[in-house]
Amino acid sequence: MSNEPSNTTHRSPNPGVEGEMHGADPAFRRRMFLLLAACLLGAVLVVLLLPGWLDELRQRGSDSGGLDELLRIGFTAVALVMIAPMLLLARLSLSWAEQIRQADSFPTREMKTTRDVPVRHGKDALRVARWHTAGAIALLWLSVALMAWVAWIWLG
């Protein structure tokens, strides 16, 4: 690893890439790897526990009222677990879009990256900001759709 501080800009050593480069942050890379590993472990744990939960639901199958209630609670919990991170990511994406517009560059000096990234200015940076905004809007609409689905489950 280099002794270079994170979030620095430098000239690209690659002959095909011209302009300045935003340096990678090794500590950020490690944190992102650990976060992804934890998410993967959680997903594997859910998949391993799911058959037991489904067997328990099958055993309670004679009591359809109780089964319906358990399924309703389970689907609501899954939807809420999905909605919360989507709303947070949408907020973060809108914040990044505003930072990119104000700095007129992507990535901004304050952003942390997992690898060296060419710095974009002007129209290229605004295009990235528009994509961040579009992604945030899509996440918001998806969250609204999941909330409507949960309401339909409880009221329908």
Would you state the pLDDT for residue 3?
Answer: 44
The tens digit of pLDDT for each residue in 35-50 reads 999 999 998 998 898 8
Q: How confident is the model at residue 62 (pLDDT cuts 50, 70, 90)?
A: low
The tens digit of pLDDT for each residue in 78-99 reads 888 899 999 999 999 999 999 9
| Residue 150 CA to its chain's centroid (Å) | 21
Torsion of CA 127, 129, 133, 136, to 10 degrees: 120
Residue 25: partners with Cβ closer than 8 Å, 6 or more residues away:
6, 7, 112, 113, 114
Residue 101's identity, in one-letter code, is R
| Residue 92 CA to its chain's centroid (Å) | 9
Task: Please determine, for residue 53, whether its predicted confidence score (pLDDT) is greater than 90.
Answer: no
What are the residue ranges spanned by the domains of the chain?
9-155
For the whole model, what pTM was predicted? 0.72
* Comparison of pLDDT for 81 and 9, the residue scoring more: 81
* Cβ–Cβ < 8 Å for 41, 49: no
* Cβ–Cβ < 8 Å for 70, 57: yes
Q: How confident is the model at residue 67 (pLDDT cuts 50, 70, 90)?
A: confident
What phi-psi label fits residue 4: left (phi over 0), alpha (psi between -120 and 50 degrees) or beta? beta
Among the listed residues 112, 87, 88, 86, the one whose alpha carbon sits nearest the alpha carbon of residue 99: 112
